[in-house]
Chain A
Amino acid sequence: MTVVDNPASLTRKDPGRHADRLFWALCVSAGLAVLLILGLILASMLQQSLPALTKEFFTSSTWVPNDPDEAGPLTPHFGSLTFLFGTVIVSLIALVVAVPVSLGIALFLTELAPRRVRSTVVLLVDMLAAVPSVVFGLWGIIVVAPALVPVYEWLHDTLGGIPVLGSLFGETVSSGRNFMTAGLIVAVMIIPIITSISREVFATVPSSDKQAAYALGATRWEMIKGAVLPHSFGGVVGAVILGLGRAMGETIAVALVVGSAVQITPNLLASGYALPAVIVNTFGEASGDLRAALIGMGVVLFILTVGVNLLARVVVRRAEIRMKGAPA
């Protein structure tokens, strides 16, 4: 039998307690690093962009970053409205395409697919998320954009005469680099995130709800419509908002395929620009006011995406509470 030589040693304040404090401090500071970085992003970028954040920056769509003929009468104008417009349009197109597709895949995975098919499909959708965005951009600019030109021309010919639709499908750019192509490419890139979150949401639907629907004689689709969709509405909205956040921040693929034209037009088949794209394309030679304006766009983008993400969290959390009856 082991005898504790000195019972006091069991409660002694050993030097290990300092190590404990130190380790705790290390961990807390690592956690605080997240807050520090986010705070620094906002503070440092705001400070650098302050000279550019004038009224014109938010209300004007005139973008003349440098004086074209040196001593001419033209002064630089830094209105960022065009780029904000482009970002919104491209994100909306991406959502319109990606949401039904993602929900379809998620429903297929949770309600339709046999177990073995399911894991393969999950793997494939994950692979879609693993493809670097620049590779999608390369594929978009070299393969997709030219290939879609005939499709766009056909769209323009058939729908161009109809009053409202006609303005959406106006003259096509011959390179195929336009809002529509950018939106489609971004759609492919946000499908994985919307799919994976809505799949998780659909998986939380209680099987008793589903059984009840079947017991009432519902077909599979009626069961989905009556039990799965209403139950997961909140979570799906959250997933869509998260997808929107991702779409707004997408830089490289959009920079390659959107066409780099500074214009606000309802024509989805015309070239345009987007906030992240103009930053990455123009930054190389930027200094002074132009650099401040570009960093200002970064601030706008940061605030937009953080706001959208926070909103998504709130929506998902509220949906979770409603579903489980307690915060997860």
Chain B
Amino acid sequence: MSVVTANRPAAAAPAPLDLRRSSLPLRRRLVDNLSKVLMTMTLLVALVPLGLVVYYVIAKGGSIISWDFLTGDIPRSARRAGGGMGPAIAGTLVITGTAALLAVPLGVLGAIYLNEYGKQRPLARFIRTMADVMTGVPSIVMGLFILVVWVLTVKEKSAFAGALALACLMLPVIIRSTEEMLRLVPDELRQASAALGARRWKTTLSVVLPAAISGIVSGVMLAIARAAGETAPIVVVVGITYETNWSLFGLNTALPAQIFNNATEPYPAAELRAWGAALTLMVIVLLFTVIARLISSRFAIKER
């Protein structure tokens, strides 16, 4: 051993490699830094529009928001100033609420089928794929579909028709998000329940669903928030009204449709109403989104 070390002259030891970043060739360093700058810049490209939209909606819509605006009837002439969005707010609540009542039970049951019964069977996999595909069906197509099967049959545009269209849009979203949540419920819970002699339906309803309920509720809230902002089906199947109509039937209107109608009018009063309606809608959507996030973060099942 000592012989070997003695034989190696100290002067021949290689100079230690310079591993500092600054020793990299200039071009590689520049490309690296440039890529980092670009990645950070892309972030700005996306966030600037978000900031601008939020700013404009608050700045322009904020001035018109008042109790009168939130409850008043919509003026029959778009040119006239004043009036409010009362009927549109009522319509949004009626239509979105009914859509949720239709879509949530169906969606949760469908998800239970996929996760508790179907699993990887061909039928379940097919339904899963089709639900994914259905999330990509444009809202205008859903509007036309409900028009064809419902409005043309009963010969009446109504809030109910709008709710049907929104329910079709919400259904696949609820199915997929609920299934994800059910998948997180540990199998031991199901086995424990089965060992106690519970039937499968009882296990599902009293053990599995409660364990996943927070995630399910937050998914549902997000679906509702998304549906509340949908415009195209409302424009096609709900019609238009100027007075508050809390009923499911008869002509109705909703905030997105009012924004759409007023945005195309060249009058300042209409533009102002559009911004006011946009602010109201954004607040409603944000409310649901925030509630969804709160629920999912406070009561989340820990992923295992």
Contact = CB atoms under 8 A, between A and B. Distances in A.
Interface of A: 16-17, 19-20, 22-24, 26-35, 37-38, 40-41, 44-45, 48, 100-105, 107-108, 111-112, 121, 124-128, 130-139, 141-143, 188, 191, 195, 219-222, 224, 242, 245-246, 248-252, 255-256, 276, 279-280, 283, 294-295, 298, 301-302, 305-306, 308-310, 313
B145 A32 contact: no
Nearest to B293: A123
8 contacts: A34-B134, A35-B126, A41-B145, A104-B38, A128-B49, A139-B53, A305-B136, A309-B135
Contacts of A245: 136
B171 A27 contact: no
B138 interface: yes
Contact of B36 (A102, A121, A220): A220
B231 A138 contact: no
A239 to B, nearest CB: 13
A308 to B, nearest CB: 7
Contacts, number: 271
A17 B269 CA distance: 64
A135 B259 contact: yes
B236 A283 contact: yes
Given A35-B130, A108-B42, A248 B148 contact: no
B140 A251 contact: yes
A26 B114 CA distance: 12
B39 A135 contact: no
Nearest 5 A/B pairs, CB to CB: A132-B229, A249-B138, A104-B42, A30-B109, A23-B201
B192 to A, nearest CB: 17
A33 B105 CA distance: 12
Given A48-B148, A256-B263, A19 B168 contact: no
B263 A313 contact: no
A135 B171 contact: no
Interface in B136-191: 136-145, 147-149, 152, 168, 171-172, 175
Categorize the interface residue count of chain B.
35 or more
B106 interface: yes
B131 interface: yes
Given A33-B171, A34-B130, A139-B52, A108 B39 contact: yes
B274 interface: yes
Contacts of A188: 46, 49-50
Given A30-B109, A130-B286, A219-B24, A135 B136 contact: no
Given A27-B113, A128-B49, A295-B144, 7 more contacts: A40-B149, A100-B42, A105-B39, A125-B46, A221-B35, A249-B140, A294-B144
A251 B43 contact: no
Contacts of B282: 131-132, 135
Nearest to A306: B133
A69 B53 CA distance: 43
Contacts of A308: 136
B46 A128 contact: yes
B42 A105 contact: yes
B299 interface: no
Contacts of B263: 134, 137-138, 141-142, 256
B56 interface: yes
Contacts of B281: 132, 134-135
B145 A101 contact: no
Contacts of B116: 27
B65 to A, nearest CB: 15
Contact of A38 (B31, B43, B130, B143): B130
Nearest to A308: B136
B291 interface: no
A112 to B, nearest CB: 6
